[in-house]
Amino acid sequence: MNTNQNNTVESSLNSNLIDYRELSIDGNWVHLVDSDKQIDVYVSNFFWRQGVFVNGIKISQKTAYGTHKFNHSGASYVLRFKYTSWSDGECRLLKDGELVDSNAYALYDDESKRDFIKLVAVHSIFSLGLGLSIFIGLSSLSKVFFS
């Protein structure tokens, strides 16, 4: 393999490694173990964007609520997310239908509680504005078509 091919392979491998810049108030990490595999899952709290990393290498990314299916080393895995309260949850890792590991997670900790509440407020205001805009737009359309 020549130097250019080595650089291409290395850069493609590096692009799949955990990028800790993804750590943000928007989400959190759930850490699980399957035998000799460290499985780290990044979950966005508001948009359910999920990234699955096995031994530090990203192998799956999806936007899903509740269940995330992926395959690795010939095995079928399923991640199941379940809220146990409005701010806490549990992630279960199943391999070929059998429970392998589970871990609890929280939407925020003591350090990030204020930032989390601010983010919820911003999302709420945005959602309310979007909802009102759609309602006003549909009202205007109904007047045009039904008058």
CATH number belonging to domain 3-107: 2.40.128.180
Rounded Cα distance between 18 and 74, Å, is: 22
As averages over each run of 10 residues, the pLDDT of the chain (147 residues) reads 41 48 64 94 79 91 88 95 82 96 80 70 82 81 69
User: Which of 107, 35, 106, 45 shows the shortest CA–CA distance to 77?
Assistant: 35
Residue type, 120: V
Query: In a 10 Å sphere around its CB, with 0-12 CB exposed, 13-18 middle and 19+ buried, how is residue 44 labelled?
Result: middle
Residue 134's pLDDT is 86
Residue 4's pLDDT is 43
Residue 100's pLDDT is 96
Q: Would you list the DSSP string of 105-128? A: EES--TTTHHHHHHHHHHHHHHHH
Q: Indicate the domain borders of the chain.
A: 3-107, 109-147
Q: What is the pTM of this model?
A: 0.63
pLDDT in tens, 122-147: 778 888 888 888 888 777 777 667 76
